[in-house]
Chains A and B, each alone.
Chain A
């Protein structure tokens, strides 16, 4: 015969369950209120405000350079502030630094793991950071001596409990921001490897992040497999805004140049624009004919153009204000996995599963 519960314990459990139920109801009420408040201010669509703006003409953008040298899928790339050097990383564990003007390889490092999903150039141009299936983010100082073994000077900075999906230096070589398959983002001190702040809130893998332009203060945006894009306060670790309108994983997020908005690209085949001050999605960039996921997005210097790299091997160029597609670019022979506009806006670079990188202008 089962012994009866001690009456006190039974009461406690009932109380806990009641509190839980109340919290759930409050949760639902707050969510509804949030949607209502956002909807009240939704008085017009972005493309309506842009109706009188002159349309964009035909664009002639072609591949101007092809960087060949990776032995497998290119997963990530980043520009150096000098507007000509590029770092790229690949599935075969190689990280290469290129001079994009001449297409020469300047440095190459072999990582101890495959699937190097993240790489970033340090603001000084003197180091690169990378990581992937090793769950770490490591920094390699770049030597002027081409014969020097870069791997010898490697510094392990970040440690996650799952793969590293993205990394970015903050406005100095001293700190790195990372995102991971473990569902968190984290800020690290490069010199000591110390964890400075961690960011919890995503319910699944975090796939991408982008830092706000320095003028707009200490925030960054992240996107994940939970279909959410979260905006974070770097100092407090607090999630200050959250957007959940995508229908699938968010693979890429990028701030609008003014810092007042950001774009996202998703497996749901759409790119979207979210305005931070209106606290809502303000545009969707999609077409019925586009059915493959977007892997990466970036803006042109003025924010008028949004470039999207897609899993159907193409690049779609969107008029951010009018919501229409202005160009479709062909060239890669497999998925476009990464895309970044150069620091001075004269070109953009794409990396692909076809093992190459292309510079377009």
Chain B
């Protein structure tokens, strides 16, 4: 009897797996060349707004200037 129970749950798992794979297989895809071109253009369009990329001058970056000097 326990053998049958094991087979039943294996069946459920297998049915779930097949259902999931069918879903994933039906996803609409675009070519890598198109996807890559769009990733590239996003980077380039936003490059000027990226402080870590462009290196913002000390006056604009709150972390760059050292902590205030101690007055002697």
Contact = CB atoms under 8 A, between A and B. Distances in A.
Interface stretch (A67-75, A174-182, A277-285): A277-285
Interface residues of A, number: 70
Interface in A3-17: 9, 12-13, 16-17
Contact of B39 (A31, A241, A279, A303): A303
A240 B36 contact: no
Given A258-B42, A304-B43, A44 B52 contact: no
Contacts of A261: 35, 39
Which of A53, A100, A260, A361 has the largest count of B CB atoms less than 10 A from its CB?
Answer: A361
A320 B53 CA distance: 12
Interface in B8-46: 8, 10-11, 14-15, 17-18, 20-25, 27, 29-40, 42-46
A65 to B, nearest CB: 7
Contact of B30 (A41, A61, A102, A341): A41
B14 A27 contact: yes
Nearest to B64: A361
Interface of B (DSSP majority class): helix
Given A34-B21, A42-B32, A347 B43 contact: no
B14 to A, nearest CB: 4
A95 interface: no
Contact of A240 (B27, B38, B67): B27
B21 A347 contact: no
Interface in A295-319: 300-305
B24 to A, nearest CB: 6
Given A16-B7, A275-B36, A346-B63, A240 B23 contact: yes
Contacts, number: 181
A34 B17 CA distance: 13
A9 B47 CA distance: 68
Contacts of B8: 16
Contacts of B45: 302
A305 B53 contact: yes
B10 A20 contact: yes
A348 B52 contact: yes
A43 interface: yes
Closest 10 CB pairs of A and B: A302-B46, A302-B50, A30-B21, A23-B14, A278-B35, A49-B36, A361-B63, A301-B50, A64-B63, A275-B35
Interface of A: 9, 12-13, 16-17, 19-20, 23-24, 26-27, 30-31, 33-34, 37-38, 41-46, 49-50, 53, 56, 59-61, 64-65, 83-84, 100-102, 201, 238-242, 256-258, 260-261, 275, 277-280, 282, 300-305, 320-321, 341, 344-348, 359, 361
27 contacts: A13-B3, A13-B7, A16-B8, A16-B11, A17-B7, A20-B7, A26-B18, A27-B14, A43-B33, A49-B36, A50-B36, A50-B40, A53-B40, A56-B53, A101-B62, A201-B20, A241-B27, A242-B24, A260-B38, A260-B39, A278-B31, A282-B36, A301-B49, A301-B51, A302-B42, A302-B49, A305-B52
Given A278-B35, A347-B61, 18 more contacts: A23-B15, A27-B17, A27-B21, A30-B21, A34-B21, A37-B29, A41-B30, A44-B36, A256-B42, A261-B35, A301-B51, A302-B43, A303-B43, A320-B43, A345-B51, A346-B51, A346-B61, A347-B52
